[in-house]
């Protein structure tokens, strides 16, 4: 069995903008699952919102996109590419995410070409959907 990659083995993202803590499963070019473990000292808690720290929805979408990038970049034929956001559709936010929570991330890739692709993803909190969205991305050279 091949060991799973660390998020930084595939993603160029680094803290404080790395939102995948661990890769749990990956099928290169098809799907990926992982988790984001939110600490109590994340940079955004103090300002969003004072007295009621809440994970910004846009950061949940970014975490889903990073999980999608892992699925794309796990394919050896795509390692010299970088998937960038091309669009985001149907984003829905269903649960408040707070310090200490663990988001389960899952992405399934859809249609892909050499220059672009689509995927669907979700972030789950305690087995319930916290966020779901459709991603579109373009591929650029790294």
Question: How far is Cα of residue 81 from the mean position of the Cα atoms in its chain?
Answer: 17
CB contact at 8 A, 130 and 110: no
Active-site pick, 13, 48, 94, 95: 48
Cα–Cα distance, 125 to 67 (Å, whole number): 16
CB contact at 8 A, 106 and 121: yes
- 13 noted as active-site residue: no
Which residue has tokens 């803290």? 15
Residue positions annotated with a catalytic role: 48
């Amino acid at each position: 069995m091949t060991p799973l990659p660390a998020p930084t083995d595939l993603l160029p993202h680094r803290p404080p903008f790395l939102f995948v803590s661990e890769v749990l499963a990956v099928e290169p070019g098809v799907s990926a699952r992982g988790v984001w473990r939110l600490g109590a000292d994340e940079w955004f808690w103090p300002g969003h919102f004072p007295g009621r720290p809440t994970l910004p929805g846009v950061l949940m979408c970014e975490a889903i996109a990073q999980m999608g990038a892992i699925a794309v970049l796990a394919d050896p034929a795509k390692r010299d590419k970088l998937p960038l956001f091309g669009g985001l559709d149907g984003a829905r936010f269903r649960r408040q995410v707070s310090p200490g929570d663990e988001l389960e991330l899952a992405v399934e890739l859809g249609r892909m070409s050499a220059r672009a692709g689509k995927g669907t993803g979700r972030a789950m909190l305690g087995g319930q959907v916290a966020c779901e969205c459709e991603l579109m991305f373009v591929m650029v050279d790294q």
